[in-house]
Amino acid sequence: MVDIEVNINGKDYNLMVEDHLRLIDLLRDKLNLTGTKEGCGEGECGACTVLVDEKSVNSCLILAGQVHGKRIITIEGLGNENNLDPIQRAFLEKGAVQCGFCTPGMILSAKALLHENNRPNRHDIREAISGNLCRCTGYEKIVDSILWASKSMKGEGGLGNE
């Protein structure tokens, strides 16, 4: 067992966790944050993407003990139905959501990108989401949504500013 202190979605936790517990299992099974999805369990699909100190991380590949002292954001920590994050709103408005399984991971990968680069081009976006698999959309609407969100966040058009 290991004692960790971690901030998840703005809330501080002091937890005792098993040495072998993965971050995804802590989030889903212990904290009931089920927006984080497990697809492959091998870091190949990106469905389990969360932000650790603003960087996108596959939560199936990191142990809970490794996030001691870190700040974690899951999809539940971005916005809510009354106040969506601009990226969430863009995905809905531009039709980037199909079955929805990959959506939380895609949105969090986009959030990490826009934190580092608020003027991404299509290549930057494709590179940032390259670790996230989608079987439904063909990626074009996802890339379009991230571009729109970027513009909206800068007040240069995009959603709500057209």
Q: Which two tokens stand for residue 160?
A: 């709500």
Q: Which two tokens stand for residue 98?
A: 């199909």
Q: Do domains 2-77 and 86-154 have the same CATH topology?
A: no
pLDDT in tens, 103-150: 999 999 999 999 999 999 999 999 999 999 999 988 999 999 999 999
pLDDT number for residue 162: 42
Q: Beta strands 11-17 and 2-8: pairing type?
A: antiparallel
Assign residue 98 a region (left: φ > 0; alpha: ψ between -120 and 50; beta: otherwise). Answer: alpha
Strand order of the sheet with strand 2-8? 11-17, 2-8, 71-73, 49-52, 55-58
Q: CATH fold of 2-77, please?
A: Ubiquitin-like (UB roll) (3.10.20)
pLDDT number for residue 154: 82
Q: Per-domain residue ranges for the chain?
A: 2-77, 86-154
Q: CATH fold of 86-154, please?
A: DNA polymerase; domain 1 (1.10.150)
